[in-house]
Amino acid sequence: MLLLATILLPIILGVIASFVKADMPTRKRCYTGILFLTDILALLSIMEGKSITPVVFSDNLSLSFTLDGVGKYFLLAIIAIYTCVCFYAYAYMDHEERPNIFFCFFFISFGALISVAMAANLITLYFCFEMVTLMTVPLVLHDLTKEAVAAGLKYLFYSVAGALLGLLAVFFVYHFTTGDASFVYGGFIDTAKVSGHEPLFLAVIFLGILGFGTKAGMYPMHGWLPTAHPIAPAPASALLSGIVAKAGVIAIIRLVYFSVGTELIRGTWVQYTWMSLCLLTIFMGSMMAYREKVMKRRLAFSTVSQISYILLGLSFLSEEGLEGGLLHLMGHMFSKGCLFLVAGIFIVQLGIRKVEDLKGIGKRMPITMLCFTAASLSLVGIPPMAGFLSKWYIASAAIDSGLMPFAIIAPVVLLISALLTAGYLLTVVVDAFFPGHEGKEAELKKAEPPRIMWIPLVFLCAGALLIGIAGPTILTLFGL
């Protein structure tokens, strides 16, 4: 029951707190209580680790929830980013209309993502995955402008199309399974059933990877990201990039590593095509981010690139690649979450959306810009921040795979992408702090935002530093 309570509590109480008659300060106190109670239940669930099956459809078809190492790791990431974003949003949403509606879907999506982390089999994962999509669309179209509605619909159409491809893969996995279909590392596919149907099976699994990869922004299904992020409120953008897109990563991990098994895919056209798409997405996303002039769109293209680092690590189908992907999942969550929140501060405090207007603001907003700098260093891959360690693991997995020419091309693309990342992030830092880049500084009347907005930035940067220093130890604690 503890697992179900952790999922349902933020959903039910979040809706109630958002629609009862009360002023916003009272609602915020209620939201804080719901947030901390959910965090406590989640931590108790991580320590308890039991399973529950609320609905049984057949012998191998059920709605089941449990927490293994991957689930616990993802759950910890969820509560970390949602806690930071919630406090930040208290101040940010004061400048927006209908804050209660935003927080309503904030907490519903919180519960939905927790259910993704706890899903014990593919059918449960699919239902929860779809729920995440449906409950995050309102966060994108919150402003209800023509552009916001268009962006929300684009996000919805892409996500539903991708999920349907994932559902096709789920159907075939169950078809080629005998007995229990619960997740197990190494997979549970009945190879005897697959025998003679390998071409069809591989084609469907590739469609599943492509479908779930839509949520993660993998080419050619990446188009929703640079459209949705600039329109959504900054707290929603931080969630979409930091953790919602990672639901696609978790779905791919569950499909490939815990259902099908790596042996059935290793050395096939599926693996080679998957690696190729990841490398293309990394390079393309970095190039588009480098050329983009609007900060939130620049960060959105960066997300397209950075999440494919995770998928690239997974595509090597090795333990080292999986570890590198999981490290980058957490590191990117902390770093990109911080950057999107900083972009929101630029909008709220200064009314600035374009990169060229940020020159000279380091003197006016030192804490905010220092956090921006730390998160940027992590994404570039400068030690001891998280990005260095995760990219090291991914590059090592590429070389150790022995898959030519990918063993050479992958590290080269990672290096080029790192240089481009430095070009589109660290140039902002240089323009903000160093003499000769005063820009519109004299026109800026506001300095640092309220503490409730910049303290979450400090925690997110600290998280990126922690992963960079103790990432492998943390993975070991979760049995990964």
Residue 319 scores a pLDDT above 90: yes
Task: Please check whether residue 296 lies inside any domain of the structure.
Answer: yes
Task: Please check whether residue 365 lies inside any domain of the structure.
Answer: yes
| The pLDDT value given to residue 313 | 94
Task: Please check whether residue 63 lies inside any domain of the structure.
Answer: no
Distance CA 1, CA 17 (A): 23
Average pLDDT over residues 396-421: 92
Tokens representing 67? 């927490």
The kind and range of the H/E element at 55 are strand 52-56
How many domains is the chain built from? 1
446 band by pLDDT with thresholds 50, 70 and 90: low
Task: Please check whether residue 427 lies inside any domain of the structure.
Answer: yes
Task: Please check whether residue 124 lies inside any domain of the structure.
Answer: no
Angle separating helix axes 246-255 and 146-175, nearest 10 degrees = 10
Q: What share of the chain in percent tops pLDDT 70?
A: 98
pTM of the model: 0.93
Q: Judge whether 460 and 331 are in contact, CB under 8 Å.
A: no
Q: Judge whether 324 and 393 are in contact, CB under 8 Å.
A: yes
Residues 6+ positions from 221 with CB-CB distance below 8 Å: 158, 161, 162, 210, 211, 213, 214
For 108, other C-beta atoms within 10 Å of its C-beta total 23
| The pLDDT value given to residue 115 | 95
Tens digits of per-residue pLDDT, 230-241? 888 999 999 999
22 band by pLDDT with thresholds 50, 70 and 90: confident
For 87, other C-beta atoms within 10 Å of its C-beta total 20
Task: Please check whether residue 354 lies inside any domain of the structure.
Answer: yes
Task: Please check whether residue 164 lies inside any domain of the structure.
Answer: no
Residue 439 scores a pLDDT above 50: no
Tens digits of per-residue pLDDT, 188-218? 888 888 888 889 999 999 999 999 999 888 8
436 band by pLDDT with thresholds 50, 70 and 90: low
Residue 405 scores a pLDDT above 70: yes
| The pLDDT value given to residue 334 | 95
Q: What share of the chain in percent tops pLDDT 90?
A: 70
Task: Please check whether residue 138 lies inside any domain of the structure.
Answer: no
Full residue range of the structural domain in which residue 401 is found = 278-480
